Amino acid sequence: MEVHQARAFLTVAEELHFGRAASRLKMAQPPLSRLIKQLERSLGTELFERSTRHVALSSAGRALLEPARRLVEASEEAEQAVRNALTGETGRVRVGFAGASINRKVGELARQVRAARPGLMLELYSSQFSHLGLERVLDGSLDLVIGRWDFLPAEVDSAVIALEEVMVVLPASHPLASQSAVDMKDLSDEPWITLPGGVGAALQNRLNSLAMAAGFVPRVVQTAPDSWTQVVLVGAQMGCGISLDSVRDNVSSDGVAFSSITSEDRPLEVRMIWRHADDNPALRAVIEIAEAMFPDPRTEESPSTQP
């Protein structure tokens, strides 16, 4: 029994009148009668007892009611599942992010997606630093990554969701630790603890450009796997590092001090990136939710320009 036959059978069973059933199905009566006859031939039995004035279900017809309903319901569920997938109501989106400095925004996004699209699943992957996150977006193993890049290839689309202040993190015992702002020239002889570099790694690139402007090449003594480890190493007086105000606000910073940089007034952009050619409706739904939650801060009016 095919789905269209099951629908026709159920409609006739409800109306017990071929004319009214045909009207409901928006078809002529003769084709409906032929459709029921075809179904009866395929099943080898009559489903209706017919007379010139009366139509009633046969015992076989009564037995077919529930299986026919299940068949129609299963077909409707399948159609709805496809519609939901096409509109982004359901599906899976794999989201990567660097770590603690991004945790809050990722948590906010996950909660909003769950509230707005409960049928959509977010899979979260931490420790996806700039170079690794970009590689995984390009090879398709991640759908969306939140991080910081100075360069992105043409295959990738992006949106800025936050601006962060670049800061220096010093051991609490450092002579400059009590200053709210320091000059990079005063740190030219310091050992530096960096984060993983790679193509487009914004924080590592910023350290190099700041050091070059101050007239020195940073002496890197260790590369920390993440911001939390970098802060721990700085607190252990192993060196100093370039960090962010979001790290200061989200990572335990006992034994260290965060200071602004006198020569640095360019914020670092936090972006979400995805493949330009990715047509996954679930991904588009997540991007729309994220852009509504985190509008591009570069376009916001400053207080002085507001009426």
Residue 307: predicted pLDDT: 40
The per-residue pLDDT for 201 is: 74
For residue 75, pLDDT beyond 70: yes
User: Is pLDDT above 70 for 213?
Assistant: yes
What are the pLDDT digits (tens) for 10-43? 999 999 999 899 999 999 999 999 999 999 999 9
- Residue length of the chain: 307
Neighbours of 44 (CB within 10 A): 7
Contacts of 70 (CB under 8 A, 6+ apart): none
Q: Which residues contact 30 (CB under 8 A, 6 or more apart)?
A: none
Q: In which band, very low, low, confident or very high, does the pLDDT at 195 lie, cut at 50, 70 and 90?
A: confident
For range 177-190, the mean pLDDT: 95
Q: Where does residue 265 rank: exposed (0-12), middle (13-18), buried (19+ CB within 10 A)? A: exposed
Q: Which residues contact 274 (CB under 8 A, 6 or more apart)?
A: 137, 143, 144, 145, 156, 157, 158, 283, 287
pLDDT at site 76: 81
Average pLDDT of the chain to the nearest whole number: 88
Give strand pairing partners of 268. 164
CB neighbours (10 Å) of residue 275? 18
User: Where do the domains of the chain lie, and which CATH numbers do they carry?
Assistant: 3-87 (1.10.10.10), 91-162+269-299 (3.40.190.10), 166-261 (3.40.190.10)
Higher pLDDT, 303 or 78: 78
* Mean pLDDT, residues 90-94 taken together: 88
Question: Average pLDDT in the 157-173 region?
Answer: 94
Residues with Cβ within 8 Å of residue 21, at least 6 apart in sequence: 8, 11, 12, 14, 15, 32
Question: Which whole number is the average pLDDT over 291-307?
Answer: 69
**Where residue 200 falls among pLDDT bands split at 50, 70, 90?**
low
Higher pLDDT, 76 or 159: 159
**Mean pLDDT of the 276-304 span:** 84
pLDDT tens across 231-257, in order?
Answer: 999 999 999 999 999 899 888 778 999
- Report the percentage of the chain scoring pLDDT > 70: 93
Predicted local distance difference test score (pLDDT) of residue 302:
45
306: pLDDT strictly greater than 60: no
Res 304: pLDDT: 43
- Which of 259, 255, 263, 223 lies closest to 244, judged by CA? 259
pLDDT at 254: 84
